[in-house]
């Protein structure tokens, strides 16, 4: 039986931990191969505390964030690939797109997690969301690197919660119960020393979504993650 897989396409290292760490850890426990594509190291705009060290260089910050991201991914049970595109601004390239299309076809993910479509506070995030969608669409094209022996079905895409959802037109349609992996997710938080000011904030987000998940499902839930579906779910029955 082919191993199921999930793909996470993220702009910066912290994003996959704060917003999708529970989903990554939960599916890894269930035997999924979880792969993270991290477009940058977040070295310019996502490394507040790293820049407070006297004499620190850009190369130092990049190396530190790469190490943090690798350790966080390991804690969550995922593999990670970096594109080193830079951030603030993040500029994708044809080579990055080509590689990501290959990843879609090789991995055949059962689902994709990426950023919300809008974020007026951080342009790197919607750039990444668009990039993830474009790669998904092109990977379906029979005429792109034609291979008659290759099968591919475009997976559902779930947008993870942005930092300020109300400003990003983000409406949670799926709340994932992450109680069983919360300790793992929080352990991954603590690896991200360059953004330690966000640990408590994202714990509060998880508690809020857990409360909402419990109210909407009628089942006990303490910690949750919110997602918005990009495409409709095709079903046979409604309940």
Q: Tell me, letter by letter, the H, E, C secondary structure of 186-214.
A: HHHHCCCHHHHHHHHHHHHHHHHHHHHHH
Quote the pLDDT of residue 52. 86
Q: Is residue 48 very low, low, confident or very high in pLDDT (cuts 50, 70, 90)? A: confident
Cis peptide before 215 (omega within 30 of 0): no
Summarised one tens digit per residue, pLDDT across range 166-212 is 999 999 999 999 999 999 999 999 999 888 899 999 999 999 999 99
Quote the pLDDT of residue 203. 97
Alpha helices (H) in the chain, listed in sequence order: 13-29, 58-76, 94-107, 124-140, 182-189, 199-217
Q: Which two tokens stand for residue 91?
A: 């500029």
* Alpha-carbon span 74 to 135, nearest angstrom: 25
Whether residue 235 lies inside any domain: the answer is no
Whether residue 102 lies inside any domain: the answer is yes
* CATH code of residue 166: 3.40.50.10320
Strand partners, 159: 114, 228
Whether residue 200 lies inside any domain: the answer is yes
Residue 145's domain comprises 5-229
Summarised one tens digit per residue, pLDDT across range 50-70 is 888 889 999 999 999 999 999
Task: Report the number of distinct structural domains present in the chain.
Answer: 1
């Amino acid at each position: 039986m082919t191993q199921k897989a999930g793909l996470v396409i993220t702009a910066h290292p912290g994003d996959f931990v704060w917003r999708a760490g529970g989903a990554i850890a939960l599916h890894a426990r269930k035997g999924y191969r979880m792969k993270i594509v991290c477009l940058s190291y977040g070295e310019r705009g996502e490394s507040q505390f790293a820049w407070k060290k006297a004499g620190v260089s850009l190369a130092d910050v990049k190396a530190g964030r790469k190490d943090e991201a690798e350790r966080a991914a390991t804690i969550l049970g995922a593999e990670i690939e970096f594109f080193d595109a830079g951030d603030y601004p993040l500029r994708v390239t044809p080579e990055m797109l080509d590689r990501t299309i290959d990843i879609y076809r090789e991995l055949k993910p059962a689902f994709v997690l990426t950023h919300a479509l809008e974020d007026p506070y951080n342009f790197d995030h919607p750039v990444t969301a668009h990039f993830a969608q474009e790669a998904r669409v092109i990977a379906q094209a029979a005429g792109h690197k034609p291979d008659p022996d290759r099968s591919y079905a475009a997976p559902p895409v779930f947008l993870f919660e942005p930092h300020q959802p109300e400003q990003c037109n983000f409406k949670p349609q799926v709340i994932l119960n992450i109680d069983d992996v919360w300790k793992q997710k929080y352990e991954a938080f603590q690896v991200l020393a360059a953004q330690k000011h966000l640990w408590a904030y994202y714990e509060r987000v998880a508690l809020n979504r857990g409360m909402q998940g419990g109210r909407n499902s009628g089942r006990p839930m303490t910690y949750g993650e919110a997602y918005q579906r990009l495409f409709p779910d095709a079903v046979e029955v409604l309940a």
